[in-house]
Amino acid sequence: MKILRALICLALLLTCLNEIRAQDQFYSFLKDELQREYQQLKTADNRLYYMSYRVDDIKSYRISSSFGVINSIDSSRMRIFSPIIRIGDYKLDNTHGSMFGQIPASLPVTDDEDLVKLALWKSTDAAYKNAAQVYEKILTDKKVRVTEEDTAADFSPAKRVNHFDPSINYNALKPDLTKLAERVAGFTAILKQNPDLLTGNGMVEFKITRKYFVDTDGSSIIENSTGTWLSITGNTKADDGMDLPLYQMYFFYLPADLPSVDSVTKDVKNMRAKLNALRKSKIADPFVGPAILSGRAAGVFFHEIFGHRLEGKRMKSEYDGQTFKTRLGTSVLPSFLSISMDPTIKKVGHTDVNGFYLFDDEGVQAEKINVVEDGILKNFLMTRTPINGVSGSNGHARTAPGGVPESRQSNLVVIGKHNKADAELRQLLVAEAKKQGKDYGYLFQNVQGGFTTTGRTSPNAFNVLPIEVYKIFADGRPDELVRGVDLIGTPLSMFNRIIASGDKPEIFNGMGGAGSGWVPVSATSPAIFVDVIETQKKSKSNDRLPVLPRPDLDK
Amino acid sequence: MSKYISALFFFIAFSGVVKSQDLKDNFYVKALSQELNRNIERLHLPELSKPFLITYKLRNNYNYVIRAERGHITSTVKEPSVSKTALVKLLVGDYHRNFDYMQYGGFPVTLPDEDSADEIRRILWLETDRAYKNTAQQYNATLAALKRVTVDEKELALDDISKITPIVKDYGSVSPISFDRKKWEDILTELSRMFNGNPELTTTYCQLNFNNFEDYTVSSEGAIIRQPSQSVSFTAYANTTDEEGNNFNEGYAFYAKDIAELPSLETLKNEINKIIASIKNSKKAQKFEEAYLGPVLFTEEAVPGLLQNMFGNSLVTRRKSIMGYDYGNNDYEDKLGQKLVSTDLTVTALPKLASFNGKPTTGSFQVDDEGVVPPDSLVLIKNGILKSLLNGRTPTQKFSKSQGFVKSFGGRVLNPGVLKVSSASTIPADSMKQRLIKIAREDGLPFAYIVNQRDYTNADLFRVDVKTGLKTLVKNCRISNFNIRSLRRFATASNKQVLSNMPNMSIISPQSLIINEVEIEKQNKTVKPKPTIVSNPLLDKKIATSRGSKAKK
């Protein structure tokens, strides 16, 4: 028996050693092929001055459930290859003014050198030909167009970096899928007990990512990361056809850290009750007046109206609104607020935050950036693409696998001074409502996300999408849950309306979408009191409720 | 004797009842039936017509793909996948007017992997409700639009869907995919490694695909059907480009119902060697520069390729839209009774033919996807004259009843299942080349041509010297202006009938056939991609390895 156990241990050890060796080999294949390609392409076209290879090697586990039933248990592994080719020089190259043009490809998940190199070779050729064609067009554009406002270079040097995370032991990280499936099915079974719900879904996703980066400047990076999402969604429909979803989302780095069954059960039961209340709630009319944004709502609010406007690379474009491009050193927020973007933190307090990374997607070490100190704008989120007045990356070039790295947010953290307790914020709101002659103000308790437009061709507006909103009455009546409200506005007019901040930070973990795809982000903020906000009616479905009752209730 | 007959009759009748009762007790049938009955009885919005026909389908799907490249298994999914899909079809109005043929064949939804009657019914409930509201809206909108146009009375008189006698029948189930995975991974690894000695082949693979499913159909007309389907295929492929950017690829595919029917390892090795040789030969082949009009011998894969293109999905009915849409398709219904192809040719659909010469057919089926049992045999073309067309439940002027040829889970694709093409004029297979040469010589042509690839229109061809009979491969050519009318110039066929299996269709046909007055012209490709700039990494490695070994010596 002991011998058998020893043999099994030995076999497992050998399997792990093989896996580890394969991961190291894969890196050397990338590095060798990059050098070979660069030498030959440079000989063929001496305008080529920089190349990088990025590979996102992603192992995913997914479990989905609805109303207590397991829908699917899947796992997959893929390698997404993103070659970057720069033709021209640092001043002007083929990436000029472009946020697209990447030609990603999938690489075989194998440790065979020939297969990996063949795939790299084919994709690199397509990427080079695309880059060369784009560069010719850019040279022509320069001749027929007026001089651009931003005269900064297209690329800047960066410090050479070598960083190698240890090989991943995939077997050790494999979650207990059966146990997780039982848990998530248990949560969605709670939703089934609400007869008004049309759907009740749950999803657990665990991703293990090993990111490889090599470039012709000599940087070599291998960075590992993990992320686990548990999401529970319930959906009901009001009699007027409005779809009413609520979400409960949890982010942790490892599945083992997910909250206890009791804790999630409590949240899901709470959500189930709120869905009932929402069905019965009234639709709110468009409104202008005072409001409190909870910490989560405020986090999304700052992410949308502020964070996206600090993304440096987009300011190079003359199509961008460039809200803050010339405002460095000036007051942009009330003096009691400071904001940092910090990809170097994995937790805020005891909570895991989703925007952590060591190196960005251009191979630059991540840095914490204090973008606003005491209301004064101090810095932008920079990639290796400079803009007039700001040069040098601070490690915020990010992209979804396969995309072109852009300036993107990470962990946004808002810190307030002279903070007020919830009751004090409420008193401020009541007082302001009375002052403005309003019967009530709003409390935006929870949001599902938001979006903003930063270009010049459409109004530079933002939209935060609340899913739990209360009226707080000036005359002291109990709060009233309402539905069908979107929080809207234009950024510059909003900043001076922030009057006070709360004393408890709350965290919103999510995925931020922009030109370079979806990247993991978080926003941490205290609640804020705003003396004037504007709302509009939420768009809604006109479909009637189902004609027949839900089958399990139609006895 | 009379007692015996009575007892036998009772036994047959009873066993039939047991079978249909077994099917009615099936977990999926029960879930589908319960939800269907509730909806057909009670789904109704005020001032809108009730649905008069609801059909639910459920597919239990088992899929698996193993892929090997250059001696390595590269598919990352290690277990067969299991999935379930349902389809809701709902009609408002009545059999005469419901505009069925102008709508989707059904609304698909994904069902959970775990068997739960509550969840299956909940998903069907939401989808049926949605389908009802959509269909009722479309129905009323189309009725209103009809008031703006004048429609041919004969077309207007047609029903939109034909009535059928619903069947309750269990045609069997399929088992989850089960096979010796290790053995087949080893085989694929070995076969894919055979390409390694040819580093100029930059894309190569061998792949095994399994697709098993069982379909359940339950309709408010009373149909309850379970039918299985099982298929497996082996494919091999290789590709390369030359220094001028010309692309060369070659593949092999074998389709069967069961893995045991796949060719032996030795046969598969031969096929891989043929792929490699074919690409090498193609690279060296002469370019076709002239124009040609004369006889062509279609052989090997070119025969099922040609016959599938000509007859596979084209000899079908087409309902004219009463809203005036013209899809521009060929309307064969008006040509019934007319000569369509050579009088030597007869084309027959044999949908239920399960095997031919002991070899199972991949296309056969016992009941179509609208729940109609097809005939054993339907002659489509007899001695060159168009006799009938494949159809389903959509009536047309000359076909008011379904003949049971709809084969698509959620659509209306018509398929013969097994198609037999026979010729009244045949000669021995080994005389075909001589006959080709004879016809060419009589036409005063110096050459004739042979094509043997499935994609016959763009294949490399063999040029046959009429004087010497020698064959030379030529490339950069295409067969042009070739359509069903070209088969009026059919000359002869070999006397051996063979079965060719394809996904969802089988063709029984002569092994080879000659067609006269086929046009061949050179490819008019004026643009092709530039070759890859950087050298092939495998060739670089080969050079480095040979240098290394020379240095050691």
DSSP A146-184: PPPS----S-------EEEPPPP-HHHH---HHHHHHHH
Burial class (CB in 10 A: 0-12, 13-18, 19+), A189: middle
Of residues A311, A367, A374, the one with CA closest to residue A338:
A374
Rounded Cα distance, B378 and B362, in Å: 18
Report whether pLDDT(A5) > 70. no
Nearest 10 degrees: Cα torsion A451, A454, A458, A462:
30
User: How many of the other CB atoms lie within 10 Å of CB of B65?
Assistant: 14
- For chain A, how big is the Rg over CA atoms in Å? 26
Q: Is residue A21, in this structure, part of any structural domain at all?
A: yes
Taking all residues of chain B, what is their mean pLDDT, rounded to a whole number? 91
Q: Is B195 on the interface with A (CB under 8 A)?
A: no
The pLDDT value recorded for residue B13 is: 36
Examine the domain organization and report whether A221 and A299 are in the same domain. Answer: no
For residue B534, give the nearest of A40, A108, A112 by CB distance.
A40
Rounded Cα distance, A361 and A380, in Å: 17
Of residues A411, A418, A430, A528, the one with CA closest to residue A475:
A430
Minimal C-alpha gap between A406 and chain B (Å): 29
B490, β-bridge pairs: B515
CB < 8 Å to B126, chain A = 198-199, 546
Q: Quick one: closest CA in A to B134, which residue?
A: A543
Examine the domain organization and report whether A205 and A324 are in the same domain. Answer: no
Of residues B180, B209, B204, B191, the one with CA closest to residue B65:
B209
pLDDT per position as a tens digit, A12-71: 555 545 555 566 899 999 999 999 999 999 999 999 999 999 999 999 999 999 999 999
Cα–chain center distance at A127? 27
The pLDDT value recorded for residue A13 is: 52
The pLDDT value recorded for residue B324 is: 63
Contacts of B140-144 with CB under 8 Å at 24 or more apart are B140/B48, B142/B99, B142/B102, B142/B323, B143/B97
Q: Is residue A259, in this structure, part of any structural domain at all?
A: no
Q: Is residue A238, in this structure, part of any structural domain at all?
A: no
Contacts of A9 (CB under 8 A, 6+ apart): none
For residue A70, give the nearest of B113, B196, B540 by CB distance.
B113
Contacts of B264 (CB under 8 A, 6+ apart): none
Q: Is residue B315, in this structure, part of any structural domain at all?
A: no
Minimal C-alpha gap between B8 and chain A (Å): 43
Q: Is residue B424, in this structure, part of any structural domain at all?
A: no
Tokens of B491: 């000359």
pLDDT per position as a tens digit, B134-189: 999 999 999 999 888 888 889 899 999 999 999 999 999 988 888 999 999 999 99
* B interface test, pick of A26, A51, A115 with most B CB neighbours within 10 Å: A115
Q: What is the DSSP string of A290-344?
A: EEEE-HHHHHHHHHHHTGGGGBGGGGGSTTB--TTTT-TTSB-S-TTEEEEE-TT
B425, β-bridge pairs: none
Please name the helix (run of DSSP H) or strand (run of DSSP E) that holds residue B250, with its range, or none. Answer: strand B247-256
Q: Is residue B300, in this structure, part of any structural domain at all?
A: no
Q: Is residue B391, in this structure, part of any structural domain at all?
A: no
Q: Is residue A253, in this structure, part of any structural domain at all?
A: no
Q: Using the beta-carbon criterion (under 8 Å), do A125 and B533 form an inter-chain contact? A: yes
* A interface test, pick of B125, B247, B538, B545 with most A CB neighbours within 10 Å: B125
Examine the domain organization and report whether A188 and A310 are in the same domain. Answer: no
Task: Work out whether the CA dihedral A132, A133, A136, A141 comes out positive or negative.
Answer: negative
Averaged pLDDT, B534-543: 86
The pLDDT value recorded for residue A315 is: 85
Degrees to nearest 5, angle at CA A95 with A93 and A97: 110
Averaged pLDDT, A250-264: 95
CB < 8 Å to A120, chain B = 537
Examine the domain organization and report whether A40 and A128 are in the same domain. Answer: yes
Tell me the CATH number at A51: 3.30.2290
Are A339 and A414 in contact by the 8 Å Cβ rule? The answer is: yes
Q: Using the beta-carbon criterion (under 8 Å), do A551 and B122 form an inter-chain contact? A: yes
The full length of chain A comes to 555
Report whether pLDDT(A328) > 50. yes
Number of domains in chain B: 1
Q: Is residue B414, in this structure, part of any structural domain at all?
A: no
Q: Using the beta-carbon criterion (under 8 Å), do A198 and B126 form an inter-chain contact? A: yes
Task: Give the DSSP letter of residue B311.
Answer: I
Tokens of A194: 């609400």
Report whether pLDDT(B232) > 80. yes
Q: Is residue A174, in this structure, part of any structural domain at all?
A: yes
CA distances from A370 to A343, A347, A373, A415, A416 (A): 12, 17, 7, 11, 14
CB < 8 Å to B129, chain A = 546-548
Tokens of B381: 């073309």
Q: Using the beta-carbon criterion (under 8 Å), do B74 and A72 form an inter-chain contact? A: no
Q: Using the beta-carbon criterion (under 8 Å), do A108 and B69 form an inter-chain contact? A: yes
Q: Quick one: closest CA in B to A35, which residue?
A: B534
Are B297 and B436 in contact by the 8 Å Cβ rule? The answer is: yes
Examine the domain organization and report whether A45 and A157 are in the same domain. Answer: yes
Examine the domain organization and report whether A211 and A294 are in the same domain. Answer: no
Q: Is B390 on the interface with A (CB under 8 A)?
A: no
Q: Using the beta-carbon criterion (under 8 Å), do A112 and B116 form an inter-chain contact? A: no
Q: Using the beta-carbon criterion (under 8 Å), do B537 and A112 form an inter-chain contact? A: no
Residue B527: pLDDT band (50, 70, 90) is: confident
pLDDT per position as a tens digit, A462-503: 888 899 999 999 999 999 999 999 998 888 788 889 999 999
Are B66 and B60 in contact by the 8 Å Cβ rule? The answer is: no
CA distances from B454 to B101, B314, B451, B483 (A): 33, 18, 9, 15
Q: How many CA atoms lie within 13 A of A414 on its CB side?
A: 37
3-state DSSP helix/strand/coil percent for chain B, to nearest 5?
A: 30, 30, 35
Q: Is residue A308, in this structure, part of any structural domain at all?
A: yes
Examine the domain organization and report whether A222 and A289 are in the same domain. Answer: no
Task: Give the DSSP letter of residue B197.
Answer: G
Taking all residues of chain A, what is their mean pLDDT, rounded to a whole number? 92
Q: Is B71 on the interface with A (CB under 8 A)?
A: yes
For residue A69, give the nearest of B34, B112, B533 by CB distance.
B112
Q: Is residue B478, in this structure, part of any structural domain at all?
A: no
Map tokens 């059919």 to a residue: B490
Averaged pLDDT, B290-310: 96
Averaged pLDDT, B201-229: 96
CB < 8 Å to A129, chain B = 530
Q: Is residue A357, in this structure, part of any structural domain at all?
A: yes
Minimal C-alpha gap between B71 and chain A (Å): 9
pLDDT per position as a tens digit, A387-416: 988 888 999 999 999 999 999 999 999 999
Report whether pLDDT(A2) > 80. no
For residue B533, give the nearest of A40, A199, A552 by CB distance.
A40
Q: Is residue B444, in this structure, part of any structural domain at all?
A: no
Residues above pLDDT 90, as percent of chain B? 80
Residue B123 corresponds to which amino acid?
I
Please name the helix (run of DSSP H) or strand (run of DSSP E) that holds residue B546, with its range, or none. Answer: helix B537-552
The pLDDT value recorded for residue B1 is: 38
The pLDDT value recorded for residue A453 is: 80
Q: Using the beta-carbon criterion (under 8 Å), do A550 and B44 form an inter-chain contact? A: no
Counted across chains A and B, CB pairs separated by less than 8 A come out at 114
- Using a CB–CB cut-off of 8 Å, the residues of A that contact B are 33, 36-37, 40-41, 44, 66-73, 76-78, 108-110, 112, 114-115, 117-118, 120-122, 124-125, 128-129, 192, 198-199, 543-544, 546-548, 550-552, 554
The full length of chain B comes to 553
B537-552 helix and A2-44 helix, angle to the nearest 10 degrees: 100
The pLDDT value recorded for residue B15 is: 38
Rounded Cα distance, B507 and B519, in Å: 25
Contacts of A202 (CB under 8 A, 6+ apart): A64, A65, A66, A184, A185, A187, A188, A230, A231, A232, A233
Averaged pLDDT, B240-256: 92
CA distances from B208 to A89, A392, B81, B85, B259 (A): 48, 52, 14, 23, 9
The pLDDT value recorded for residue B325 is: 62
pLDDT per position as a tens digit, B442-466: 999 999 999 999 999 889 999 999 9
A517, β-bridge pairs: A514
Examine the domain organization and report whether A126 and A221 are in the same domain. Answer: yes
Residue range of the domain that includes B182: 22-232
Degrees to nearest 5, angle at CA B282 with B281 and B285: 85
Averaged pLDDT, B510-520: 97
CA distances from B51 to B55, B86, B126, B222 (A): 11, 19, 15, 15
What string of H, E and C letters represents the secondary structure of A105-137? Answer: EEECCCCCHHHHHHHHHHHHHHHHHHHHHHHHH
Nearest 10 degrees: Cα torsion A141, A146, A151, A156:
0
Of residues A66, A473, A81, the one with CA closest to residue B113:
A66
- β pairing state of A243-252 and A220-237: antiparallel
* A interface test, pick of B67, B76, B189, B198 with most A CB neighbours within 10 Å: B76
The pLDDT value recorded for residue A319 is: 80
Examine the domain organization and report whether A391 and A509 are in the same domain. Answer: yes
Q: Is residue B118, in this structure, part of any structural domain at all?
A: yes
The pLDDT value recorded for residue B12 is: 36
For residue A121, give the nearest of B121, B122, B534 by CB distance.
B534
Tokens of B245: 């950017």
Of residues A55, A336, A100, A357, the one with CA closest to residue A215:
A55
Rounded Cα distance, B42 and A551, in Å: 12
Residues above pLDDT 90, as percent of chain A? 77
Residues above pLDDT 70, as percent of chain B? 93
Averaged pLDDT, B494-521: 96
Are A453 and A461 in contact by the 8 Å Cβ rule? The answer is: yes
For residue B44, give the nearest of A122, A198, A547 by CB distance.
A547
Number of domains in chain A: 2
Tokens of A237: 């429909």
Q: Using the beta-carbon criterion (under 8 Å), do B69 and A44 form an inter-chain contact? A: no
Report whether pLDDT(B4) > 50. no
Q: Quick one: closest CA in B to A555, which residue?
A: B38
Report whether pLDDT(B474) > 90. yes
Task: Work out whether the CA dihedral B456, B457, B458, B460 comes out positive or negative.
Answer: positive
Examine the domain organization and report whether A185 and A298 are in the same domain. Answer: no
Q: Is B79 on the interface with A (CB under 8 A)?
A: no
Examine the domain organization and report whether A219 and A358 are in the same domain. Answer: no
Task: Give the DSSP letter of residue A548.
Answer: S
User: How many of the other CB atoms lie within 10 Å of CB of A248?
Assistant: 17
Contacts of B222 (CB under 8 A, 6+ apart): B166, B168
CB < 8 Å to A112, chain B = 69-72
Rounded Cα distance, A36 and B533, in Å: 12
Are A312 and A380 in contact by the 8 Å Cβ rule? The answer is: yes
For residue A118, give the nearest of B110, B129, B537 by CB distance.
B537
For residue B119, give the nearest of A67, A114, A120 by CB distance.
A67
Q: Using the beta-carbon criterion (under 8 Å), do A117 and B537 form an inter-chain contact? A: yes
Q: Using the beta-carbon criterion (under 8 Å), do B202 and A122 form an inter-chain contact? A: yes
Report whether pLDDT(A206) > 90. yes
Of residues A84, A363, A55, the one with CA closest to residue A211:
A55
Averaged pLDDT, A434-448: 94
Are B372 and B234 in contact by the 8 Å Cβ rule? The answer is: no
How would you label A385-420 residue by residue, b for 16+ Cβ within 10 Å and e otherwise? bbbeeeeebbbbbbbbbbbbbbbbbbbbbbbbeebb
Residue range of the domain that includes A408: 283-537
Minimal C-alpha gap between B53 and chain A (Å): 17
Report whether pLDDT(B32) > 50. yes
Q: Is B85 on the interface with A (CB under 8 A)?
A: no
CB < 8 Å to A548, chain B = 38-39, 42-43, 125, 129
Minimal C-alpha gap between B129 and chain A (Å): 6
CA distances from A23 to A76, A222, B116 (A): 17, 10, 42
Examine the domain organization and report whether A312 and A414 are in the same domain. Answer: yes
Contacts of A133 (CB under 8 A, 6+ apart): none
Q: Is residue A241, in this structure, part of any structural domain at all?
A: no
Tokens of A221: 């990076």
Degrees to nearest 5, angle at CA A550 with A547 and A553: 125
Q: Using the beta-carbon criterion (under 8 Å), do A551 and B119 form an inter-chain contact? A: no
The pLDDT value recorded for residue B14 is: 36
Tell me the CATH number at B78: 3.30.2290
The pLDDT value recorded for residue B484 is: 94
